Amino acid sequence: MAPQSIFKDESKLDINYIPAQLPHRESQQRLLWEFFSFILRCPERMSQRVILTGDVGTGKTALAQHFGATMTTEANKKGLKFRYIYVNCREFRGLLQPVLINVIKVFRPNFPTRGYGIEEVLGMLMQMLDEEETCLILTLDEFDSLIEKEGSDTVYKLTRLQEMRQGKPQRISFIFIMRDLLSTQKLDDSARSTLQRSIIRLERYGKPQLVDILSDRVKLAFELSTVSEDVIDLVAELAYSETGNARFGIELLWRAGKYADAGDAEMLEPECVRQAMSSIVPSLRRSELNSLSFHERLFLLATARYFKENAEAYVPITELEKAYSIVCEEFNEQPKSHTQIWYYIQYLSKLGVLKTEVTSDIGRSTKISLPSIPAEELKRQLEEGFEYEWRQK
Ligand SMILES: Nc1ncnc2c1ncn2[C@@H]1O[C@H](COP(=O)(O)OP(=O)(O)OP(=O)(O)O)[C@@H](O)[C@H]1O
Ligand SMILES: [Mg+2]
């Protein structure tokens, strides 16, 4: 007999699952409709650009995807030619050309991946939409990475795409998703003003809101009466103290369920939540971070930046050394020796911040990974620390 599980359907706790209801995002959903309802009334006559912004886990991606699906259904009902396409810019290292090629490939799967510049690809995208006679809402998630990589000119070209085609049907609208609008300050005035027309903000969730979101998810994912209100409350409390992050709460529920199953429990006990919590919380606390030496922190900053820029799980030490010497240059510091860096790596992996693995390839080199702390979070904490020290000087 298969072991009992308190899960009814754990896929409902998967990070990619988009729930049918998004409690406490009704007003933002309504706003999106207001901005884009013209597509159902007079497609081709207008286009729109909207920014969704809010902290980590506030439902930006979920909101955009939910909206895209509903819009597609409504457009289909009316027999309109409409496509909603979602791309996460970070997956393409913030480069517009591969992002656009990916969009074209939705319509033309055999489209060549290389060989065209941005201008050409933009032109081909619009021509293709004309040929298809279709309207498109393109959601560009983690758009900050594209701003950072491409800068003003490219963002301007993208946002002015429709204006450049006066008199022709309006084919493409955008939803830009960004955690904060700080990155837009890097843009010059004209790029920024064409970008920042309509902004929808997603505030952090409060605890009662997290309770509602998690209760909904519990009903979908767990067997009846296996998760008490108190346990949901506890998870919501923990997610709330993690900056009101719904993703954190959902992941915590899932892990706690796993602990319950592993212990053959019939209910999700608070102890399972605590076990899950201790397994999720970043293994590096701020106090530990501050106890590191200056160069250990420079090295860690280089590592965090590396993993933030590159979508790789492992990096050879030599790459990190390069990144570290760049950081040293920035801080006007002489880089430490190879041997010293090796000691840093040993120490940081003992703390559980880094993980080392010897590859079996020829040469037996060592690969480094950042197993549990998000690179972005680590980078932010370190940079804040440096800035604080700098201000104290
Ligand atoms: N109002 C809500 N109702 C139901 N589920 C929600 C709601 N808000 C967020 N979630 C869920 O919480 C998780 C995190 O949401 P989402 O991925 O949309 O956050 P985000 O704002 O895009 O975060 P990030 O900035 O990290 O990309 C997802 O699993 C999502 O389904
Ligand atoms: Mg997101």
Q: Are residues 296 and 262 in the same domain?
A: no
| Number of domains, the chain | 3
**214 in the same domain as 191:** no
What pLDDT does 285 receive? Answer: 59
Split at pLDDT 50, 70, 90, the class of 45 is confident
Å from CA of 101 to ligand 1 middle: 27
Task: Answer yes or no: is 3 within a domain.
Answer: no
Least confident of 67-76, 138-147, 285-294, 295-304: 285-294
> Taking the complete model, does pTM exceed 0.85, yes or no?
no
pLDDT at 191: 81
Which CATH number goes with the domain that contains 309? 1.10.10.10
Q: What domain range includes position 299?
A: 286-392
pLDDT in tens, 293-322: 899 999 999 999 999 888 778 889 999 999
Domain limit, last residue, from 223, 258, 280: 280
Pocket of ligand 1 (CB under 6 A): 15, 19, 22-25, 54, 56-62, 179, 213, 246-247, 250
Dist. CA 227–CA 237, nearest whole Å: 15
CA proximity to 96, closest of 87, 108, 86: 87
Q: Do 309 and 256 belong to one domain?
A: no
- pLDDT, position 70: 96
Task: Band the pLDDT of 161: cuts 50, 70, 90.
Answer: confident
368 and 291 share one domain: yes
Q: Which one is predicted more confidently, 324 or 243?
A: 324
Instruction: State the pLDDT at residue 347.
Output: 84
221 pLDDT tier (thresholds 50, 70, 90): very high
- Mean pLDDT, rounded, of the chain: 89
- Cα of first residue to Cα of last residue in the chain, in angstroms, is 67
In this structure, the answer to whether residues 89 and 176 fall within a common structural domain is yes
Distance from Cα 59 to the centre of ligand 1, integer Å: 3
SS3 assignment, position 205: coil
Lowest mean pLDDT among 9-18, 63-72, 151-160, 161-170: 161-170
Q: Which residue has its alpha carbon closest to ligand 1 atom 10? A: 59
Work out the burial of residue 140: count CB atoms within 10 Å of its CB; fewer than 13 is exposed, 13-18 middle, 19 or more buried: buried
Query: Does 173 map to a domain?
Result: yes
Interval between CA 347 and ligand 1 midpoint (Å): 35
pLDDT of 60 reads 96
Q: Last residue of some domain: 202, 227, 253?
A: 202
Q: Label residue 250 by pLDDT band (50, 70, 90).
A: very high
364, pLDDT greater than 70: no
Q: Which ligand is nearest to the CA of 60?
A: 1
Q: What is the CATH number of the domain that holds 139?
A: 3.40.50.300
What is the number of the ligand closest to the CA of 53? 1
Sheet containing 198-202, strands listed edge to edge, beginning at the edge strand earlier in sequence: 82-88, 135-141, 172-178, 49-54, 198-202
Q: Place 1 in a pLDDT band, splitting at 50, 70 and 90.
A: low
**Is the pLDDT reported for residue 351 higher than 90?**
no
Residue 20 forms part of a structural domain: no
Does a structural domain hold residue 21?
no
Q: For ligand 1, atom 4, which residue shows the shortest CA distance?
A: 22
Is 91 in the same domain as 228? no
- In-domain check, residue 212: yes
237/212 same-domain check: yes
> Do 71 and 178 have their domain in common?
yes
Q: What is the pLDDT of residue 180?
A: 83
CA distances, 137 to each of 82, 173, 176, 196, 294 (Å) = 8, 5, 10, 17, 47
Q: Which ligand is nearest to the CA of 67?
A: 1
Confidence of residue 375 (pLDDT cuts 50, 70, 90): confident
- Do 227 and 135 fall within a single domain? no
pLDDT of 77 = 96
d(CA 350, CA 296): 13
Residues 188, 333 share a domain = no
Average pLDDT over residues 353-382: 79
Among 21-30, 280-289, 301-310, 379-388, name the one with the lowest average pLDDT: 280-289
Among 13, 58, 179, residue to substitute to test ligand 1 (most atoms within 8 Å of Cβ):
58
Please indicate, yes or no, whether residues 210 and 191 belong to a single structural domain of this protein.
Answer: no
Please report the atom of ligand 1 found closest to the CA of residue 177.
22
Which of residues 202, 233, 254 is at a domain's end? 202
Instruction: Compute, in angstroms, the gap from residue 144 CA to the centroid of ligand 2.
Output: 12
pLDDT at 10 over 90: yes
Q: Based on the fold, state whether residues 364 and 221 are members of the same structural domain.
A: no
In a domain, 4, yes or no: no
> Does residue 175 belong to any structural domain of this protein?
yes
- Yes or no: say if 292 and 378 are a contact pair by the CB < 8 Å rule: no
CATH number, residue 247 = 1.10.8.60
| In a domain? residue 19 | no
Question: Does 356 have pLDDT greater than 90?
Answer: no
